[in-house]
Structure 1
Amino acid sequence: MSVTGVEGEDRSNFTAAESKQIRGRSLRLLGSLLRPVRWPVVAAMLIVVVSTAAQVAGPALIAYGIDQGLPALMEQDWVPLAATGVVYLATGVLGALLIAWYTIMSARISQAVLIDLRKRVFLHTQRLSLEFHESYTSGRIISRQTSDLDAIRELLDSGINQLVQGLLYMVFTAIALFLLDGTSGLVLLASIVPLALLTRWFQVRSQTLFRRSRTASASLIVQFVETMTGIRAVKAFRAEKRNEKVFGELVEDYRTVNGRVIQLFGIFDPGLVLIGNVAVAVVLLVGGFRVVDGQLAIGALLAALLYTRRFFDPMEEMAMFYNSYQSAAAALEKISGVLEELPGVPDPVAPVDLWAAKGAVSFESVQFEYQSDRVILPRFDLSIPAGQTIALVGSTGAGKSTLAKLMARFYDPSQGRVTLDGVDLRDLHPKDLRRAIVMVTQEAYLFSGSVADNISIGKPDATPAEIVAAAKAVGAHDFIAGLPNGYDTDVNKRGGRVSAGQRQLISFARAFLADPAVLILDEATSSLDIPSERLVQQALQTLLGGRTAVIIAHRLSTVAIADRVLVMEHGRIVEDGTPDQLIAGTGRFAQLHAAWRDSLV
């Protein structure tokens, strides 16, 4: 897989060039997200600068009040001390109001960015081709929309605030201390050396641990989602114990790495406190001697001590920011990787409109292979006239479903072209393609909502009468009418209130309501019992009249309604004829039909 598709969870396996490319990709994404809100960001930065300056002014005002206001008050001049108190109160109120304003603005900016990013991820992953979704597990997709976006949200909601306010507070505090007393400023400057060494030590070790923690967390989410998604298989094969062991190992790994993170903070936090206390002690010792010598006022010493102490206050929060930053950076890498995935089936640059498709399908020198370079369909030619019903039969892996997916343009051929009424599917306007060709698969997925909602997916503006008519056409009306609320019954996730066969009938109704020119049924009757299948076959004979149809089925009873049967083996058509012609022969289909007939006996 190319670098644009990497997960971003373990960059230690990447070359320097790949890591640079990933960082550049993430920065481009971040820039595109911030560009629409750049002016609110500038305004927020100005607000936080002014608010931080107002907060830092406090100790200097205290020093002025002690050194100038108190002596004046002893001479019955209360103005300097009163003025200092008023200014101190005003700066406190101004700082609080501006911080509140900044917090609200930053929250709005972060929400705008998150909404934009969340929509991008959803719309882009929905637009990506079937090939991507067949290789990119559902657990990983869900992780992109949940834990990864949450990591970015945490950084935007609090981490950025901590960083910006913390850095500005430290810079302004150091400047104020140097302006107040240069000697105390030099003591603070000297303390930055061990502080920088401790921070670098923490950064190097935490980077690896934080990445391991996020990888372990993502593995937990993927394992949980895939277990719950495949719960039927879990129950069928009694895989609970096996899953318990796997999940337990993942939980233990997550616990271990988080324990090491806690140990890291157990060294870093006390180290910060120690450096800060030593710096305060040195400022007090040096300043005390200078006060005795008359070189420093007592108020200035107090302000220097306050500034020195406050300088170290944001450090722990900034260390937590680094954690948030690492999480968000890794999340942004993974999300940007998904967003830079290109659809394997791109929309045409100059789409051709086909308002009323007739349904003639043609495969012209088509060859298809997956990314593994495994050829599924070698050079392939096929012409299906409009209105003809084709049955595709053959052993598993013969290429039947691949042919159907090419016809529905879930994939594009590696060579050659597939046409509808003479128009290459790659040039056909997507809305015309989806209206003209509809595929019903074995899965028969139902979305949350009512039965009527699920049927109307085939035609969103359908009237209730049209929905009922479609259901009657495929023999689904009777069981729907018997549901608790009829067509308004909520099918729940994955159609929990209806059986597999009933779900298939609903999907048939959905497809027939769409009224396509070409209808593809990929093992679509496999979930139906014999009576239901007979009802559907009766409906198919009526509804397939006048439209092109391709039926893929192992049940040869379904093949009987076809005008033409194609027998496929190893991606090639080995027999082509009417059902009666092939049954009367001695080829592969005749053997399959004889074996099927014997199984009925």
Structure 2
Amino acid sequence: MSGTSTDHADRTLLPTAGGAESLAALRVILRGHRLLAVAAVLVLVAGTGVGLLTAPLLGHIVDLVVDREGPRALTVPLVLLVVVALARGAAAAFGSALVARLGETVLAAVRERFIERALRLPLERVEAAGSGDLVSRVTSDVSMIAKSVRQALPEFTRSALTIVLTLVGLAVLDWRFLLAALLAMPVQMLSVRWYLRRAAPVYAEHRVATGALQHQLLDSIGGVRTVRAFRLNGVHAALLEDRSGAARDVALRGLHIVTGFFSRLNLAEFIGLAAMLGTGFLLVQDGAVSIGTATAAALYFHSLFNPVNAALFLIDDAQSAGASFARLIGVANLPAERTPEDGSAPVDGAVEVTGLGHAYADGRPVLTDVELDVRSGERVALVGASGAGKTTLAKVIAGVHTPSSGSIALGGVDVRELGPEGVRRAVTLISQEVHVFAGPLAEDLRLARPEATDEELRDALATVGALEWAEALPDGLATVVGEGGHRLTVAQAQHLALARLVLADPPVAILDEATADAGSAGARVLEEAAARALEGRTGLLVAHRLPQAAAADRVVVLDEGRVVETGTHDELVAAGGRYAALWAAWSDSRRGADVPAAAVPEKAAEAAADVPADRAATGAALGIR
């Protein structure tokens, strides 16, 4: 497998398979479908062979006319032409169907391998590559292969067989006709060589440019509120324009190469046809062949125009499909996640973090020597200014990122012994970005526990206070939600995520600002739902609002990637340290909102009362009160 590459945005792309690796993967996939492949080839060979009888029959008709044999002599050849046409059409249709079926089978196998592996990719790897890289592979690359399988593969197979058998037919007529036809081959081969040498790198570059464009689109559209809030519209528009321009320029380079390729193929056709006509004239003049035979030879060569051009043109699609196939195989062939041999499992929900360090880039640590001991069933709030390392610590504990140093134990078992799958079973991370999958609400919930009964789904919804609105949907739990279905509100989507948490029933749950996007009133409802969802399990909360921290069993304050304070809310306020400063800043902002309470609208007062902990921390750090 070729190594990962890095584009101009410093993204470590997911791997792309080399040529040998791609061929090996294709052979493995085809191994179970040899009978279908052989049947498809045999039917197409038979159909092409029958179709090649057309030229000799037309040549025979020419000879009959030259010899003045009369209309009756033409009856049998004309009937045979009709039979040949029907037989050729039937064989071509059946053979193409077999080839398409074989191609679709291969495509399905590749897609399944890719999806299976992609769903198990460490999120750290996906984030390093950028979501656009993975999305472009599962969308545009799969679409390109599908197009080639459904259109290019049957046509290429027919064209290749027609070329080979037509050359055999020319040799049967007279070996000198074959030599005349082969005069065009050097030009064609040089054209193909010229094309392949230039096209392959361009198509690979176009795939990368398309991935970079999709990555930027996801960033800009997905974070549109942040973009608008910080007035970054112009910056993001410029980035989109640059990446769109880069993708367009590469596509135009490819188009220029294709145009040059076909101009060279036209020259080859001229050379070959001129040689064929000249050879036919000389052979007829010498009496070596009849006019009908020379006509058949000329028709044979003329009938090669479309198959040759089609086969060579389809090299264009083959290059694109090959590049896409290599990108899919590059991900599909990534080594599987290690599964622990001893079957270790956490004994409870305790979390022990020792000497933990993590850095996204060398020399720029985000977490440094973090020590954290969370008792089973305890609820701990992580507090700190933006960039303090709260979310990173949560993701490292959840197994999203691999720590650079130190260790993590869940329920007394080191995460390295649990393996990625074991960590996922032990820890569930819920962030503010919740995806609602398209389909019935019940099936969305069953993602957490596929065997759950309808009654268990209702119990989970009731636990988080969501059963009332869920049953009020048009079709209750059978209501189709997500893309193209009933649109859930932000609060309902978070309710859904918390219900999934209850169904999954992990010993440890991490809520990373899971109520941040629900608005003031919605946040309070979701905080109550989160508290019920966390009952009976260990909870780590990345506190977005300081009241969340105040309600926790313990508060851990981070600053520049280090734990600087830990204790209960009352203890930390009394200590007068960083947390006390955060609480004072938040309290001042609330008093400022409450002073003119009679004149402040209810929603504005709620918004002022819910100043995020991060913002309060920033204000305290700047001395703003």
> Which band: TM-score by shorter chain?
0.7 to 0.9
Post-superposition Cα deviations, 1:410-465, rounded to whole Å, max 9, x if no partner, equal: 23334443222222233337676544432222223333345555455444444445
Tell me the equivalent position of 1:136.
129
Contact 2:464–2:532 at 8 Å: present in 1 too?
no
SS at match of 2:119: helix
Partner amino acid, structure 2, of 1:129: P
- The change in CA–CA distance for 1:532 and 1:144 in structure 2 (over 3 A counts) is closer
Are 1:593 and 2:583 an aligned pair? yes
The secondary structure found in structure 2 opposite 1:288 is: helix
Is contact 2:206-2:251 (8 Å) kept? Answer: yes
Task: Say if 2:159 is the partner of 1:175.
Answer: no
Partner of 2:341: 350
CA contact (8 A) 2:515 2:523 kept: yes
Q: SS at 1:419's partner residue?
A: strand
Task: Tell me how far apart the structure 1 counterparts of residues 500 and 231 of structure 2 sit (CA, whole Å).
Answer: 35
Specify which of 49, 57, 64 is matched with residue 45 of structure 2. 49
1:30 is matched by which residue type in structure 2?
Answer: L
Number of residue pairs matched by the alignment: 586
1:584 aligns with 2:577: no
Q: Does 1:339 align with 2:318?
A: no
Measured in 1, the distance between the counterparts of 2:256 and 2:116 equals 41
Match of 2:34 in 1: 38
Deviations 1:484-515 (A, max 9, x none): 66655555349984443443334333323433
Q: Which amino acid aligns with 1:45?
A: V
1:189 pairs with 2:185:
no
2:113 is equivalent to residue 114 of structure 1: no
In the TM superposition, what is the alpha-carbon distance from 1:296 to its structure 2 partner? 2.5
Q: Give the corresponding residue for 1:164.
A: 157
C-alpha contact 2:399 2:424 (8 A) present in aligned 1: no
Take 1:199 and 1:243, find their aligned partners in 2: how far apart are those partners? Answer: 41
Task: Give me the whole-angstrom Cα distance separating, in 2, the residues matched to 1:539 and 1:177.
Answer: 80
Compute the displacement of 1:103 (Å).
Answer: 0.4
- Higher mean alpha-carbon deviation, 323-332 vs 199-208, is at 199-208
1:553 aligns with 2:557: no
User: TM-score, with normalisation over the residues of structure 2?
Assistant: 0.79
Q: Secondary structure at the match of 1:323?
A: helix
Alignment counterpart, residue 382 of structure 1, candidates 346, 367, 372: 372
Aligned Cα root-mean-square deviation (Å): 4.1
Native 8 Å contact 1:4 1:338 kept in 2: no
Which whole-Å CA distance do the structure 2 matches of 1:286 and 1:453 have between them? 72
Tell me how far apart the structure 2 counterparts of residues 317 and 121 of structure 1 sit (CA, whole Å). Answer: 30
What is the Cα deviation at residue 520 of structure 1? 1.9
Structure 2 CA distance for partners of 1:326 and 1:338, relative to 1, 3 Å? same
1:276 and 2:275 are equivalent in the alignment: no
SS at match of 2:564: strand
1:302 is matched with: 295
Contact kept in structure 1, 2:103 and 2:153, CA below 8 Å = no
Tell me the CA shift for residue 348 of structure 1.
1.8
1:318 aligned to 311, 318, 328, which one? 311
Gaps in structure 2 of 5+ consecutive residues: 592-625
Q: Deviations over 1:562-586 (max 9, x none)?
A: 2222222333323233333222223
How far apart in 2 are the matches of 1:220 and 1:430? Answer: 31
Distance 1:213 1:315, change over 3 A: farther
Relative to structure 1, is the Cα distance of residues 502 and 593 closer, same or farther in structure 2, using a 3 angstrom cutoff? same
Name the residue aligned to 1:423. 413
Are the structure 2 counterparts of residues 251 and 360 from structure 1 closer, same or farther at C-alpha, using a change threshold of 3 Å? closer
Alignment-mate amino acid for residue 585 of structure 2: A
Measure the CA separation in 1 of the matches of 2:122 and 2:353.
Answer: 21
Deviation at 1:553, TM superposition (A): 0.7
Q: Is the 8 A contact 1:272 1:312 kept in 2?
A: no
Q: Does structure 1 residue 442 correspond to structure 2 residue 447?
A: no
Structure 1 residues 185-210: Cα deviation after superposition (integer angstroms, max 9, x where no partner): 33223333344344444444555665
Cα shift at 1:365: 4.4
- Which deviations, in whole Å up to 9, do the C-alpha atoms of 1:379-420 show, x marking residues without a partner? 444332222222222233333223322332223334443222
Range with bigger deviation, 150-159 or 488-497: 488-497
Give 1:369 deviation, angstroms.
Answer: 3.5
Identity %: 32
Taking the aligned partners of 2:519 and 2:472, their CA distance within structure 1 comes to 18
Q: Per-residue deviation at 1:328?
A: 1.0
SS, match of residue 556 in structure 2? strand
Q: Give the gaps of 5 or more residues in structure 1.
A: none
Q: Which residue is equivalent to 1:102?
A: 95
